[in-house]
Chain A
């Protein structure tokens, strides 16, 4: 039994008809993870003993008390804290850290009856677009092991693409769910800011970070978002809004739906294959009754600079808590307290994290605050207004998720600006706080391409409806990487 070819509903059916049990399914998941990990390197920590015990207990729960995700395995990005299971955010500075409480989303997974099988590799503190910034290992793209899986939720996307787990959680600050979902040919959703509690998410840039689901299909994605959404009084930025049943939005009908296609998302730097795949996708949506029109989001070209100022500024503040005193790594080279802090942080953080902390410290420092930080806050207003204006006329905005498919490991790691440009099409969404999904829409040289569908604040339903119609009309999501063939099924 391979998870790659099964939806949540099919897995439940297999349990119901006694073709498998939750215990057997969990065992198979670990067999497959252990067989594939030498190639893919997606997991940082496995939860085998507890998950196996939990699965056996869950088999005793009557069917009538089970929800649609009950007993199904899931992997969780390593910046989401899990009680008693090492959580490092892929940083040396949190090596050995065992949280004493769960993130709210992890409690919600447990309430839904999901079995957390392990923690997934990422770029250190979610800073990166390739997974090459992890202190522990480099995750590989299951479609081509010489290429990156994307970042920062590369482990979460690769684990689903390789069929190690059917579900995972990622986090998205500037595209960190959607870009790896596009590179790995899976479905990744960044919900509206505030839709999902950030309590227990190790903060990178608090005003942009959002947790979201990564899955094989749109419907499974909607099911997982159902499970993790909702107001949380432990997160002061959590939105107290109603959570609809996202799967109920998958009506298959997009007749008369208005789609805006920003010309800026087809500008120089966006590859021909990515452009063509999206144009083909728009034809599919038009054939099903949608109306597509070119629009302009005129401030798009300023998003990258705005993002790096704001995210780095917030990171320099958020990461000041890592000082070696209360948890994680601490230096052996201690002198004064100041030297202790400085040595711990220098030895504990990797280069990309240091670069962003310094950039943020610089942008917030006296004399530069107005020129950088305050200016970026104002440009964010203009970027958000672009979206507000577009959504007065259009139901969703559609474009490519990334300019190109996955690149080779090591290819651009020494060129931060080129690396940052990977997120050029996803970043505006985080600055505006709106929801967006990436779904598979084609291939270039055997590597997946992603279609990005962006919605209004708290209108994930329409985003899912459009994504589902496209998925039903195409078979890109049914293709699987050759690298996992022959692994334990």
Chain B
């Protein structure tokens, strides 16, 4: 693993939708580098012919009958929403 740079951390933070300062980026770069270096341990294992496990139990599709059922009560849902109007959630302007 090459050294993790401040710029790489800022790029990853942006992808993760996190705003971070330059100082935070330097701090996280050191820690993430140490953690990813520790994870390099896995590269010593030959996993060429090993199937990946995405789930520990046998999974099957869970299907239900295609019929409508009541959803959450809208007025109740809106109690947790900071800004709403006419039964709709308000967000900051997307298009200028």
Task: Mark A residues whose CB is within 8 Å of B.
Answer: 97-98, 100-101, 193-194, 207, 233, 236-237, 239, 299, 301-302, 304-306, 308-309, 316, 320, 323-328, 330, 334-343, 345-346, 349, 354-355, 357-362, 365, 371-372, 374-382, 384, 416-417, 420, 431-433, 457
Contacts and interface: CB of A to CB of B under 8 A. Distances in A.
10 smallest beta-carbon distances between A and B, as pairs = A433-B56, A377-B52, A378-B47, A342-B19, A327-B80, A361-B16, A305-B39, A346-B19, A378-B50, A381-B53
Given A346-B19, A433-B56, A354 B28 contact: yes
Nearest to A379: B42
Given A305-B41, A379-B45, A433-B57, A358 B52 contact: no
Interface string B55-67: 1110100101000
B93 A337 contact: yes
A417 B34 contact: yes
A376 B17 contact: no
Nearest to B72: A100
A384 B56 contact: yes
Nearest to B48: A378
28 contacts: A98-B80, A100-B73, A101-B72, A207-B55, A233-B64, A239-B57, A302-B41, A304-B38, A305-B39, A308-B39, A316-B16, A323-B17, A325-B81, A327-B80, A334-B92, A336-B93, A337-B91, A339-B19, A342-B19, A354-B18, A354-B28, A355-B31, A355-B35, A357-B16, A358-B18, A359-B32, A378-B51, A417-B38
Given A193-B57, A237-B55, A416-B31, A326 B80 contact: yes
A380 B52 contact: yes
A349 B91 contact: no
Given A207-B55, A384-B56, A376 B16 contact: no
A432 B53 CA distance: 10
A359 B53 CA distance: 20
B10 to A, nearest CB: 10
Interface of B: 9, 12-20, 28, 31-32, 34-36, 38-39, 41-43, 45, 47, 50-57, 59, 62, 64, 72-73, 76-77, 79-82, 89, 91-94
Contacts, number: 153
Nearest to A356: B35
B78 to A, nearest CB: 9
B95 to A, nearest CB: 10
Contact of A362 (B32, B45, B92, B94): B32
Given A334-B92, A375-B47, A378-B51, A326 B81 contact: yes
Nearest to B49: A378
Given A239-B57, A302-B45, A362-B12, A381 B52 contact: yes
**Listed residue (B14, B19, B47) with the most chain A CB atoms within 10 angstroms of its CB:** B19
A362 B47 contact: no
Contacts of B72: 100-101
Contacts of B82: 324, 330
Contacts of A378: 47, 50-53
A370 B79 CA distance: 43
A305 B42 contact: yes
Contact of A357 (B18, B19, B56): B18
Given A97-B80, A305-B42, A378-B47, A346 B18 contact: yes
Nearest to A94: B80
A431 B35 CA distance: 19
B12 A358 contact: yes
Contact of B43 (A323, A375, A416): A375
A281 B55 CA distance: 33
Contacts of B77: 100, 326
Contact of A432 (B17, B38, B56, B93): B56
Contacts of A299: 45
